[in-house]
Copies of this chain bind each other. A is one copy, B any other.
C-alpha cells in the first residue's frame, strides 16, 4: 500500500471566505477524494505542526509527498527542505500542486526561479492531454475543463520536463505547461497546475483522477541504490608506468 503524506500549509482556510470552499482544509479535500480512488495510507502535515509535520520519521515512511503551499513558502524551515530534498533523491515521489511551484523545495529540485505569469480573474482553464499514453493520463478525457481558476501563463521558468503530459489553455489568452514529469535522483516529481484556494477544484473527480495517477506513477521503484564515491576497477587495468616516475605520464600523454 502506497504511503502518502499530504502537506498543506493550511493558512488560507482560516479565512471564512476560503473555509466555505474547503471546510476541512485543502488537505482534507485531497485526502477524501484520493481515498475514493485507491487504497492509500494517508498522513497529513501542515505548516503549524512541529517540523511542519515532516519529521525524518514521517518522510522515511512516505512513498509520495503531495505539496500545496502558497503564502507561507518562506516559513518552511530550511532544514526541512534539506531533508525533503534528500528523501526525493533517495526515491520518495512528490506531487506539487498549483502554487507549490514557488515553494523552496520545488525551486531547490529544479534549479531555476520557477516564476510564471499569473492573475486571479475567474477564467476558464482547459487542460489538454498531450501525451495520452502516459500513466498520468489514465482514465482521463481528452481535456479537463475548469470553469474558473487562477490563471498561469508562460514563460514558466522550469527545466524542460522529462515528459510533458498536459498543456493548459486560458480564456484570457495564455498557455501553460500544466503537467510536468521529472526524475531527480531516484525520485519522481510531478507538477500539476490547478488548485487555487478560492475554487473547489480538489473536489472534482477528474482532478482527483490526475492526483491518483500521479501518486501511482511517482511511488518509488524498488531498486539497488547506486554506489557513489571511490570505486575499484571491475576490469584489470594495464599498469602503464611500472617502475617509472610520474613525469612519464605527461610524456606518454602528450605523445598521444
Contact = CB atoms under 8 A, between A and B. Distances in A.
Contacts of A249: 122, 148, 198-199
A165 to B, nearest CB: 10
Contacts of A121: 233, 237
Given A112-B185, A232-B119, A177 B130 contact: yes
A129 B113 contact: no
A10 B17 CA distance: 60
Work out how many copies of this chain go into the complex: 4
Contact of A17 (B123, B172, B186, B246): B246
A220 interface: yes
A75 interface: no
A227 B71 CA distance: 21
Contacts of A135: 221
A132 interface: yes
A164 interface: yes
